Amino acid sequence: MTDGRPTVLVTGANGFVGRHVVPLLASNGWVVRRAVRHPPRDANDVEIGTLGPATDWGAALDGVDAVVHLAARVHHQDEEHAIELYHNVNVGGTLHLARGAVAAGVKHFIFISTILVHGRSNNGRPPFREDDVLTPRGLYGMSKAAAEGGLRELVPGSGMRVTVIRPPLIYGAGAKGNFALLEKAVKRRIPLPLANIQNRRAFLSVQNLAAFVLFRLTNPGADFDVFLVADSEQVSTPQFIERLARAAQTAPRLFSLPKPVLSTLFRLSGRKEIDDSLLGSLELDLSKAAASGWQPPVSLDEGLKLALDHG
């Protein structure tokens, strides 16, 4: 602790999620130590270089009460040839950090995983739950599932609690990926052939993710706990686009193409993951997070407005 305040180490502090998590923790009484890959900008920054199984965490973990591990390898241009890279960063790097945290006496380790450990969609099945058998998809999802398994094995007798958070698509100011593509299309009023898609998907505003991280730091719970976290509303893809357009103060341009045609187009273009993420359903059972006493402080409409107002 510093001046009676607890210290938290945040990895990935310069990333999209980190830029929202760090100020929230700092404004709620935490001394935030940022693990950075570049020369430190202030006294609370610690340069750690490349994240992997040989990273030196000694200085970064000294005197730390909790760790929020956001850093990860998310995308690679040639994913099928990046197995070693995903493993070194997302699995080896995570477990090396966690073992260092145990040795340093850290009491709580929060790991941001992904809903992809369950798969890309649950069409025709019940909403995903924390205790489902994992069926990860893609190198990213498989690496996160492996890291979760390693953390679970590490916990017994370690004296350190672990919280695993499995978010769906995270949106907000500075988001990349599918949200950035949809935001650009809506603002440019590009017609989108998704009007007749009747799915149901969970989304998560970055403000709600940051709020849940803070909630868990102050309410650590069981030795090893897993949570599915999302906004309260789960909506269809066209409804999400309509709400995004409303936040942008414009009108959505949606038209219909048969779903089989859209699926074929995505598959022929080699973008099967877009097929799943736009056309398929991804419903989450959020009852465990609710039972813990937490409720998302930001609504879907509020989250979209924040994403665009500060984008």
Q: Is residue 96 part of a domain?
A: yes
**pLDDT tens profile 25-44:** 999 999 999 998 877 778 88
Instruction: Report how far residue 217's alpha carbon sits from residue 68's, in angstroms, rounded to the nearest whole number.
Output: 9
Asked if 172 and 303 touch (Cβ cutoff 8 Å), the reply is yes
Q: Residue 5: beta bridge partners?
A: 2
Q: Is residue 238 part of a domain?
A: no
- Indicate which CATH number applies to the domain containing 38: 3.40.50.720
Q: Is residue 112 part of a domain?
A: yes
Asked if 11 and 97 touch (Cβ cutoff 8 Å), the reply is yes
Instruction: Report how far residue 165's alpha carbon sits from residue 221's, in angstroms, rounded to the nearest whole number.
Output: 13
Q: Is residue 228 part of a domain?
A: yes
Q: Which regions in the chain score pLDDT beneath 50?
A: none
Q: Is residue 272 part of a domain?
A: no
Q: Is residue 180 part of a domain?
A: no
- Structural domain total, the chain: 1
Predicted pLDDT of residue 41:
77
Query: Is 86 marked active-site?
Result: no
Q: Which of 140, 171, 203, 212 is catalytic?
A: 140
Predicted pLDDT of residue 73:
86
**pLDDT tens profile 84-108:** 888 999 999 999 999 999 999 999 9
Q: Is residue 195 part of a domain?
A: no
Range of the domain at 214: 7-174+202-232+282-297
Number of Cβ within a 10 Å radius of residue 124: 6
Tokens found for residue 69: 């591990």
CA 197 to each of CA 247, 277, 280, 296: distance values in angstroms, whole numbers, following the listed order: 21, 12, 9, 26
Q: Is residue 262 part of a domain?
A: no
Instruction: Report how far residue 268's alpha carbon sits from residue 91's, in angstroms, rounded to the nearest whole number.
Output: 32
Predicted pLDDT of residue 271:
65
